[in-house]
Amino acid sequence: MKKTYYTITKPNPAVLSAAFLMLCAAVVRIVYYTGVRAAAGELWVQGALPVCAGLLFAVMLFTTAADRLYRTAVPVLMGCVFFAVKAGGFSPVHRALCWVLYLAVALLYFLTVSRGLCKWIFGALIGAALAYHIVVEDAVNRAVLKLYTTPILPGRPFWWHFLAELTVLMTMAALLLTIAAMERREAEGWRPTWGDRNDGRRLRSLSPIFAVSPYIMVTRNTSQNFIRDTLDCAAADEYIRAKRREGLQGFGMLHVVLAAYARCVGQYPGINRFVSGQRVYSRPAIEVSLTIKPEMKAESPDTVLKIDLRPTDTATDVYRKIQEKVDAVKNAPADSTNFDNLARAFNLIPGVLLKFVVWLLNLLDYFGCLPRALTRLSPFHGSLYITSMASLGIPPIYHHLYDFGNVPVFVSLGKKYRVNELSSDGAVVGRKYMDYTVVTDERICDGFYFASALRYLRGILQDPACLDEPAPTVVRDVD
C-alpha cells in the first residue's frame, strides 16, 4: 500500500528564504523585548517561545526535512500556542475559541506534511491569515497609534510597536515559502513517522523483556556475546573459482559472506535490529561497513567503505557494489573520501571542544536527531561491521562493538588453513578451513533467534550456489 507524504529533498531558494525569515523573526523578537518592560510570564510566552520555535523550525529545514518533515510540526505547534495566548483577549469564550483555532491549525499542518493532504489548503489558510494581519490588524494598529501624542513604549519611537507584528508577518511568510518548497511523494512499506528514527523503525510489539533490557544493559560493550565457528571452505572455494571464471576478478570469501549475510537478514530480520536511546529499532536497509587499505603497506592509511545491500541481492550484485566503492577509493586522491573528509574535519577541532562535539552528537543520536546525511556516512551506524584477517595471514579477532553509533554485529574472518583428517574409511584427507568470529548485541533478539540465524548463514556458506538467484521470499520484521 502506497503512503503519501511531503518532503523537501534539498535546499532551494524557497527553503533558504524561509529559514532566513525565521531567523530574522527570532532576532527581531529579541530586539523588540530589549525595549519592553514585561512580566516574566510574558517574556517566556511572548518572547522566548516564538524565538525558540523560529530557530527550531529553521534548523529542522536543514536536518530533517528530507525524510522527517513531519517533525517541523513541533515548532509549528509552539508557534500556534504563542498565537493562541497572544490573541486570547480577556473574554474566556474568545480565549477558548483562539486555542481551538490555533491547535486546529497545528493539526492541519501535521496532517498535511505526514499524510499528504493537499498542501494548498494549509497554504490558503496561512495566506488568508497573512492578508488579515496586513490589511485589517495593522490598519487598526496604525489608527490607534494616531490617537496617542506620546509613544506607547517610553523612550522608543512609534514604529517600535510594529516590531512584534513584523515577526508575525515574517513567520507566516516563511510558512508559505516552506509550503511552496514541499514535494509530494508516495512510498510503499515503511517510512519514518513519530517515534521512529531516520535509519530505523521502532518496534512496539516486542515482549517486555526487550523493552526493559536496554535499561539494565545500557551500553553495547556490556551487552556483547561472542561466538567462534569454523567453515569447511571446499564448496565456497569452488564457488569462488566459478565466479572468477565468469570474469569477476578479485571475487573472494568476503563477497560470499556478505551475500550470505544479506540473504540471512532477509529470512531473519531480527539480526538487523539495533538499540538506540534505550529502544529497539528495525533497520529497513542493510548497511555494511568495512575498513580497507588502498595499498597493502603498513604506512598506508585506513579508510572506511559503507555499502548498502538488499536481501534480494545475488553474489554478483554484492561484488559489483563493493567493487564500485573500492574503485572509487583507489581512483580518488589520497585521503579524499567522504569518510576521510569527515574525519579530517573532526581532527581540526581542538581536543577539549571535540569531547563536547562528540558528547553533543551522542545526545542527538540518543533522541534520533542526527541528520540522515551523517548517519548514512558514519561507519558506526549500520547493520554490520566486517573485517577480514585473511589478507594479513592471522586468525580472526573478537572485535568489540562500538558504543558510539548503533552497529549491533561485528564479524571477523580469519585466514584459511589446511588440516589432514581421517575419513570414514580410514584414508587421510586434506581439507581447508576458515575460522570466523561474530560479536553480537544480545539486546536485539534472543539467543535461540541468533542461533537459528547463524545456522542458516552457515548453511548458505556450505552451499553458496543459491546466491546466484535473488531470494524468493523476504520476511518483514515484527511491528
180: exposed, middle or buried (C-beta count within 10 Å: 0-12, 13-18, 19+)? middle
Distance CA 19, CA 12 (A): 11
Backbone angles phi, psi at 125, to 5 degrees: -65, -45
What cell numbers appear for 308 in the block?
A: 548498502
pLDDT of residue 143: 55
Q: What is the pLDDT of residue 334?
A: 62
Domain ranges of the chain: 2-188, 201-468
Distance CA 98, CA 122 (A): 17
Quick one: how far is CA 258 from the chain centroid? 23
SS3 per residue for the chain: CEEEEEECCCCCHHHHHHHHHHHHHHHHHHHHHCCCCCCHHHHHHHHHHHHHHHHHHHHHHHHCCCCCHHHHHHHHHHHHHHHHHHCCCCCHHHHHHHHHHHHHHHHHHHHHHHHCCCHHHHHHHHHHHHHHHHHHHHHHHHHHHHCCCCCCCCCCCHHHHHHHHHHHHHHHHHHHHHHHHCEEEEEECCCCCCCCECCEEECCCCCHHHHHHHHHCCCCHHHEEEEEEEEECHHHHHHHHHHHHCCCCCCCHHHHHHHHHHHHHHHCHHHHEEEECCEEEECCCEEEEEEECCCCCCCCCCEEEEEEECCCCCHHHHHHHHHHHHHHHHHCCCCCCHHHHHHHHHHCCCHHHHHHHHHHHHHHHHCCCCCHHHHHHCCCCCCEEEEECHHHCCCCCCCCCCCCCCCCEEEEEEEEEEEEEECCCCCEEEEEEEEEEEEEECCCCCHHHHHHHHHHHHHHHHCHHHHHCCCCCCCCCCC
pLDDT tens string, the chain, 479 residues long: the values are 677 889 998 888 999 999 999 999 999 988 888 766 767 777 888 889 999 999 999 999 988 888 889 989 999 999 999 888 876 556 788 788 888 888 999 999 999 998 889 999 999 999 988 888 777 665 555 555 554 444 555 556 666 667 888 888 899 999 999 999 999 988 777 778 888 988 999 999 998 888 899 999 999 999 999 999 999 999 999 999 999 999 999 999 999 999 999 999 999 999 999 999 999 999 999 999 998 776 656 556 677 889 999 999 999 999 999 999 888 877 766 666 677 787 888 888 888 899 999 999 999 899 888 888 889 889 999 999 999 988 788 999 999 999 999 999 999 999 999 999 888 788 888 899 999 999 999 999 999 999 999 999 999 999 999 999 999 999 999 98
Query: CA-CA-CA-CA torsion for 142, 146, 147, 150, nearest 10 degrees?
Result: 110
For domain 201-468, which architecture applies? Answer: 2-Layer Sandwich (3.30)
Closest CA to 341 of 303, 375, 368, 306: 303
The residue assigned the cell 481551538 is 100
* C-beta atoms surrounding 319 within 10 Å: 22
